[in-house]
């Protein structure tokens, strides 16, 4: 986590979403970390890698993927904090 904070002072720390998210505020930035209590599956790791390369949810539909994998990949773009 130190590389994420980049020397900025830690201003807030919060645990939430059924103990699955860690929220860390450093300076004016908010960082959200997913907490897993087990080793993630290779499918999940592949989906996270694909998400990092695709960047936007609408680009997922352009990939030649089965419908179930496409919907799982789209779910990764759902925000943790919903702003109204």
What pLDDT is recorded for position 82? 57
CA atoms lying within 13 Å on the CB side of residue 60: 22
pLDDT, tens digit (0-9, with 9 covering 90-100), for 56-78: 888 888 889 888 888 888 888 87
Q: Within 10 Å of residue 37's Cβ, how many Cβ atoms?
A: 6
Rounded Cα distance, 22 and 44, in Å: 19
What pLDDT is recorded for position 56? 87
The pTM is what? 0.51
Instruction: With a cut of 70, say whether residue 15 has pLDDT above it.
Output: yes
pLDDT category at 2 given cuts 50, 70, 90 is very low
- Identify the burial level of 43 via C-beta atoms within 10 angstroms of its C-beta, where 0-12 means exposed, 13-18 middle and 19 or more buried: exposed
Instruction: With a cut of 50, say whether residue 1 has pLDDT above it.
Output: no
């Amino acid at each position: 986590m130190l590389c994420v904070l980049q020397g900025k002072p830690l201003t807030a720390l919060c645990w939430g979403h059924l103990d699955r998210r860690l929220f860390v505020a450093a300076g004016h930035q908010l960082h959200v970390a997913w907490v897993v209590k087990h080793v993630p599956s290779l499918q999940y790791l592949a989906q996270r890698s694909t998400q990092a390369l695709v960047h936007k949810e609408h680009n997922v539909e352009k990939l030649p993927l089965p419908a179930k994998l496409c919907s799982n990949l789209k779910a990764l773009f759902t925000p943790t904090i919903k702003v109204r």
